[in-house]
Amino acid sequence: GAVVSQHPSRVICKSGTSVKIECRSLDFQATTMFWYRQFPKKSLMLMATSNEGSKATYEQGVEKDKFLINHASLTLSTLTVTSAHPEDSSFYICSARVSSGVSYNEQFFGPGTRLTVL
Amino acid sequence: QKEVEQNSGPLSVPEGAIASLNCTYSDRVSQSFFWYRQYSGKSPELIMSIYSNGDKEDGRFTAQLNKASQYVSLLIRDSQPSDSATYLCAPEDSNSGYALNFGKGTSLLVTP
C-alpha cells in the first residue's frame, strides 16, 4: 500500500505552547487529507478535511482557530495545535486519499502523533 | 446521522478458524467501503477496499458487499494470533468530502 508519514511521532509540551504536526504522502499525491483524533479506547474522531489549496472543512465542535490546518501541496498537510492545554492531549492521526493510480480512492493513515500537554 | 454498526466483541476464534466480521451502514449513497485493522496504540491499516456488490478476495481476506441490504462483511481465513486487533468498517461519505464514516470496530482475539 501507499505510505504516509507523520512527524513528530511523539511530543510533550507545556501548556500554552503551539505544536505543529506534519503529514506527508510519500509515494502518491493526495488532493484530500484528513485529520483525526483518538482518545484511549475510543473511536477515531474526524476533526477536519483538508483539500490542497483551499481552506479546511472542520467538523462540528472542532475549533478552527485552535486547530490550524494547512494543505499547501499535494503531498503535505500540517496541523498546528495552538495554545495547547492538557485536554488536547491525544493521539492525532492523519490520512491521505489517493488521487490517481492503482490505489485511487483508497485512504492511507499515517502512524500518528501522540501529544502530551503538561 | 450516518450510522455504521459493528458488534464490538470481543470475537474470539481459535487459530486456524475463519473469523467473520459484520457491518451495517445507514447511508445509502455510500459507494466505497473499506476495512481497516488497528492494533492497540497504532494507527489504522487498510486491509481491503470494495466497491461493487459481491465478493472480493485478497489472500486470507474476503470482503463481501450487499448494497441493497446495506451490509458489508470481512472474512479472515486461517486466522492467526497476529490477526488479533480491532477491525474497523468504513463506508466513504461522498457527500462529505470523501471522509470515512467509521464504526466503533470489532475486537478480534485469535487464540493459539
pLDDT in tens, A11-60: 999 999 999 999 999 999 999 999 999 999 899 999 999 998 889 999 99
* A97/B98 Cβ within 8 A: yes
pLDDT of residue B99: 92
Phi, psi of B50 (to 5 degrees): -145, 135
% chain B with pLDDT above 90: 86
Please state the rounded mean pLDDT for residues B55-77: 97
Option in A46, A49, A109 nearest B43 (CB): A109
Sheet holding A19-25, edge to edge: A4-7, A19-25, A76-81, A67-73
User: Could you tell me if B21 and B87 are in contact, meaning their C-beta atoms sit under 8 angstroms apart?
Assistant: yes
In which element (H, E) is residue B71 found? strand B71-76
Q: How far is A45 from chain B (nearest CA, A)?
A: 9
Please state the rounded mean pLDDT for residues B44-57: 96
Q: How far is B42 from chain A (nearest CA, A)?
A: 7
pLDDT over threshold 70, residue B9: yes
d(CA A96, CA A109): 6
d(CA B29, CA A87): 36
Option in A43, A108, A110 nearest B102 (CB): A43
Cell 501548556, residue? Answer: A15
Q: How far is A103 from chain B (nearest CA, A)?
A: 9
User: Strand, coil or helix: what is A95?
Assistant: strand
Which of A46, A54, A94 would you mutate first to test chain B, the one with the most B CBs within 10 A? A46
Instruction: Please give the span between the terminal C-alpha atoms of chain B, in angstroms, as a whole number.
Output: 40
* B46/A109 Cβ within 8 A: yes
The per-residue pLDDT of chain B, averaged, comes to 95
Within 8 A of B42 by CB-CB distance, chain A residues are 111-112
> Residue B13 to residues A41, B10, B59: CA-CA distances in angstroms?
22, 10, 19
Which amino acid is it at A77? S
Question: What is the 8-class DSSP label of residue A59?
Answer: P
Please state the rounded mean pLDDT for residues A58-63: 95
Which range (A79-83, A93-97, A110-114, B102-106) has the least confidence? B102-106
pLDDT of residue A36: 96
d(CA B107, CA B51): 24
User: Could you tell me if A59 and A42 are in contact, meaning their C-beta atoms sit under 8 angstroms apart?
Assistant: no
* A105/B97 Cβ within 8 A: no
Confidence of residue A1 (pLDDT cuts 50, 70, 90): low
pLDDT over threshold 90, residue A6: yes
Confidence of residue B79 (pLDDT cuts 50, 70, 90): very high
d(CA A23, CA A77): 5
pLDDT over threshold 70, residue B1: no
Residue A101, by phi and psi: left (phi above 0), alpha (psi -120 to 50) or beta? left
Q: Chain B contact for A107, CB < 8 A?
A: yes
The per-residue pLDDT of chain A, averaged, comes to 94
